[in-house]
Amino acid sequence: MKRPLLTIAALVLFAAGAFAQGNSYQTVNIIEDFWRFWETSQSADEATRVKNFREMVIAPHADIFAGFTGQRSDEDLAKYLKQIEKLIPRMRSVNARLGSELPLHEAKFLKALPDMKWKGKVVFMPNYGITDSGTGRMDDVDYLIFGVDTIAAKYGENADLAALFHHELFHMYHSQTVAAFKGKSRENGEVPLYWLVWGEGLATYVSHRLNPDATLEQILLNKTLAEQTNAAMPRFAKEIRENIDSGDPNIWKPFMSAGANDKGIPPRSGYYIGYLIASELGKKTSLQKLARLSGEELKKKMVKALAKLEKQGTIAK
C-alpha cells in the first residue's frame, strides 16, 4: 500500500514552526484517510464506494464535515467520487506540497508579524469544491481549512500556496488583533460592509506584501477580477461608500461572494477594492498598525480612499 504523501515528518515540521512558540496548534489530516479509502475502493461498485467513503473519511471527522461542508446525499457523493478520479494526480501533488511548503510560508509570516498567537486546528480535507481555503470557528475552536481537492481543481498542481496560506493566516491574526466582529454572523447582517471589504482586502494586501514577486492575478487567484472591477470602479466605489455601514446580505454578497449576481458586480470585487484601499493606507502605515485599525478611524480612512476611487477610478501607486 502506498503511504500518504503528506508524511508525519512533514506534519511535525509544520507543527514545530511558528505555532510552537507558545501556541496550541493541531493538524487534522483527513487526506490520509482519503488515500486509504481511495486505495482500497477503486474497484468497488458505486454503492460500496459511497459506503466506504462515509465510513473511512467522513465518519471519523463527522463534526468537521458537518460544520464546513454540510451533509451530502449518496447520489451527490457518487457523482463527486466519479468526477474526482481525474484529479487524483493533482491532489497527490498539492498534498505533498502542503506538507513541505507550508512550514516555510508560516515562518515568513511570523517574521513579518511576530506577535501572531493562535490556538486551533489546521485541516487538510476533501471538501467537494466548496472552497480552496478558509477560516471558521466551531465549538469554540478556530479552524483553518484547506480543500485539497478544490485547490487541485481550481489551480492545478502548481497552485500558489504561499499567497493562499498567507491570506488565510492573516485572517486568524486579524481576528486576534481586533475582536469587534468576532463571532458575529454576516449572513444575519451583523457585520457591516466596510469590515468585510477591509478584512478581505487587507488579507490580500498582506499576502502581496509577503509575496512581492507574485502577480496581482496570483494574489487575487483570478485572472480577470482586477480588469473587470476597474472597468466600472467609480460605480462600485460609490456603492460601497454609500452602504459602508450596511450589513444587508443583499448589499455585501455581490461584492464579497464568489457566486454570480444580477447586479453586474464582478464576484469578489470587494476583495480587490479592499486591496486597493489597504495599499493606499499601507504607504505610511505598518502591517501591525493596519491590522489594528477599526471603528470610526478605519471608516474615515476608507471613505477617503473610496472617494478617490470614485473620482479617479484608481489610486496612484
> Do both 27 and 161 map to the same domain?
yes
What domain count does the chain have?
A: 2
Residues 53, 66 contacting (CB under 8 angstroms): no
- Do 133 and 54 fall within a single domain? yes
Residue 184 lies in a domain: no
> DSSP secondary structure string, 157-223?
TT--HHHHHHHHHHHHHHHHH--TTTT--TTTT-S-HHHHHHHHHHHHHHHHHH-TTS-HHHHHT-S
Range(s) of the domain holding residue 278: 193-312
Looking at residue 25, its pLDDT comes to 63
Residues with Cβ within 8 Å of residue 7, at least 6 apart in sequence: 99
**CB-CB contact of 201 with 277 (8 Å):** yes
Instruction: Tell me whether residue 128 is in a domain.
Output: yes
Query: Could you report the per-residue pLDDT of 71-109, keeping only the tens digit for each?
Result: 999 999 999 999 999 999 999 999 888 878 888 998 999
Q: Are residues 115 and 152 in the same domain?
A: yes
500556496: which residue's cell?
161
The residue whose grid cell reads 447582517 is 189
Q: Measure the CA–CA gap between 152 and 159, rounded to whole angstroms.
A: 8
Q: What is the pLDDT of residues 29-68, one digit of tens each?
A: 999 999 999 999 989 999 999 999 999 999 999 999 999 9
Q: Which pLDDT does position 101 carry in this prediction?
A: 87
129 and 213 both lie in a single domain: no
The answer to whether residue 250 sits within a structural domain is: yes
Same structural domain, 152 and 225: no
Residues 36 and 99 in one domain: yes
What is the pLDDT, as a whole number, of residue 317? Answer: 55
Please answer whether residues 197 and 240 qualify as being in contact, where contact means their C-beta atoms are separated by less than 8 angstroms. yes
CA distance 118 to 285: 24
Number of CB atoms found within 10 A of residue 170's CB: 26
Contact 150, 129 (CB under 8 A): yes
Residue 312, all three cell numbers: 479617479
Does one domain contain both 41 and 146? yes
φ/ψ of 70, rounded to 5, equals 75, 180
Q: Are residues 249 and 134 in the same domain?
A: no
The answer on 162 and 13 residing in a single domain is yes
Query: Does residue 154 lie within any of the structural domains?
Result: yes
Q: Is residue 18 domain-shared with residue 120, that is, in the same domain?
A: yes
Q: Going residue by residue through the chain (317 aa), what tens digit of pLDDT does each one get?
A: 332 333 333 333 333 344 444 455 688 999 999 999 999 998 999 999 999 999 999 999 999 999 999 999 999 999 999 999 999 999 999 988 887 888 899 899 999 999 998 778 889 999 999 989 888 888 888 899 999 999 999 888 878 889 999 999 999 899 889 988 888 899 999 999 999 999 999 999 999 999 999 999 989 988 899 999 999 999 999 999 999 999 999 999 999 998 899 999 999 999 999 999 999 999 999 999 999 999 999 999 999 999 999 998 777 55
Is-contact 126 148, C-beta < 8 A? Answer: yes
Find where cell 498542481 sits.
157
